[in-house]
Amino acid sequence: MTLTVAYVGNAESQDISVFALAADGTLTAIETVPVPGPATPGGSLPLAVTADRQRLYVALRNEPYSVVAFAIAPETGRLTALGSGPLADSMAYISVDATGRHLFGASYGGSKVSVNAIGADGVPGDIRQILASEPKAHAILADPTNRFVLATSLGGDAIHQFRIDLDTGLLSPNDPPLKRIGPPGGGPRHFAFGPDARFVYLLNELDGTVHVLPWDPSTGTLSDELQSITAMPAGLSAKPWGADIHVTPDGRFLYASERTTSTLAAYRIEATRGRLTGIGTFPTEAQPRAFAIDPSSRYLLSVGELSNALTVHAIDSSTGALTAISSTPVGRKPNWVEITSLP
């Protein structure tokens, strides 16, 4: 029987809330796991689950900067600490390549990206590479083919394009090495690949827009945007503060979180052209820095940094509209959510 588990990174309490998500959307607490590290917590607690769903990595954003590995128990979803390794800086985002051997980091304050080796035992090892980025690196992900890596620069209004050497994990600039995103001052933050690997969806933090960019999986490069659409509620003039963006695993809908208005913007994805049609905006937890969608595409879990709680939203399979069905307390200042299904 498949078990769906949600992991919530709580920055201020420096722990992970672990929940089981039932087929009817019911959330059941499994455990709360402290993350070993500095006595003073960092500003956020980025998480990354490996493609094989066997390990969870947690980045600590206070010196000494480190990443902690946990083994995921396949029967229960419980976590067991395996060990930790150094990080090159305070990382706003971490991710792991599909082989599970290379860990990537993006440092907002340090304007850099990095690569760590991961040992056969799952423990992060040495820092293999540090590369300067355009200002304020914010997110880094390998593409679905695991041949290329993209990394956003919030301050440079750009996306870095890299190739991966899968033997070493080292990154090298692609051709071209950079894709500029307009207009200036938008602040590229998080992004998501469509399941068919034909489009990348990018959320700007500072102007609250979502960009649709064609992706060439053979070259690992982005083309000029097809569309730009707002994530802000209609009729409001609040200053945008975009945060997170995800596509449903079935590829039908896209959602983006906006912190100033504490809302989730919903869009329908046109299957052939990748373009977005706005569905509406839906209230969620206060200051929703992060959310995630379960593998069945039926539920969206959103956490609020100011509410210290998690809301389960049901996704209407016909319209993509969200309905809040429960709210559950978590740790202090939750700002990351990962969901995975275990065999």
Query: 């509209």: which residue's tokens?
Result: 321
The helix (run of H) or strand (run of E) holding residue 210 is: strand 209-216
Judged by DSSP in three states, 106 sits in: strand
d(CA 256, CA 209): 9
Query: Residue 206's pLDDT is what?
Result: 98
> 151-156 contacts: CB < 8 A, separation 24 or more?
151/104, 151/106, 151/113, 152/106, 152/188, 152/189, 152/190, 152/191, 152/202, 153/111, 153/188, 154/108, 154/187, 154/188, 154/189, 154/205, 154/206, 155/111, 155/187
Query: Residue 70's pLDDT is what?
Result: 98
One DSSP character per residue, 144-170 reads TTSSEEEEEETTTTEEEEEEE-TTT--
Per-residue pLDDT of the chain (343 residues; tens, 9 = 90+): 799 999 999 999 999 999 999 999 999 999 999 999 999 999 999 999 999 999 999 999 999 999 999 999 999 999 999 999 999 999 999 999 999 999 999 999 999 999 999 999 999 999 999 999 999 999 999 999 999 999 999 999 999 999 999 999 999 999 999 999 989 999 999 999 998 999 999 999 999 999 999 999 999 999 999 999 999 999 888 999 999 999 999 999 999 999 999 999 999 999 999 999 999 999 999 999 999 999 999 999 999 999 999 999 999 999 999 999 999 999 999 999 999 999 8
Query: Residue 236's pLDDT is what?
Result: 85
Residue range of the domain that includes 115: 3-342
Query: Residue 185's pLDDT is what?
Result: 97
Cα three-residue angle 66-67-70, rounded to 5 degrees: 145
Query: Residue 125's pLDDT is what?
Result: 97
Judged by DSSP in three states, 322 sits in: strand
Question: Are 226 and 215 in contact, with CB atoms under 8 Å apart?
Answer: no
Please tell me whether the peptide bond between 288 and the residue prior to it is cis, using omega within 30 degrees of 0. no
Overall number of domains in the chain: 1
d(CA 169, CA 127): 11
Edge-to-edge strand list for the sheet holding 66-72: 47-49, 55-60, 66-72, 79-86
Query: Which residues is 127 bridged to in the sheet?
Result: 116
Closest-CA residue to 8 (of 53, 37, 57, 45): 45
Task: Work out the burial of residue 268: count CB atoms within 10 Å of its CB; fewer than 13 is exposed, 13-18 middle, 19 or more buried.
Answer: middle
Closest-CA residue to 162 (of 76, 249, 97): 97
Residues with Cβ within 8 Å of 291's Cβ and at least 6 positions away in sequence, in order, are: 244, 246, 255, 257, 264, 284, 300, 301, 302, 303, 337
Question: Are 127 and 110 in contact, with CB atoms under 8 Å apart?
Answer: no
Max CA distance (Å), the chain: 53
Query: Residue 1's pLDDT is what?
Result: 78
Query: Residue 8's pLDDT is what?
Result: 99
Query: Residue 271's pLDDT is what?
Result: 93
CATH of the domain at 63: 2.130.10.10
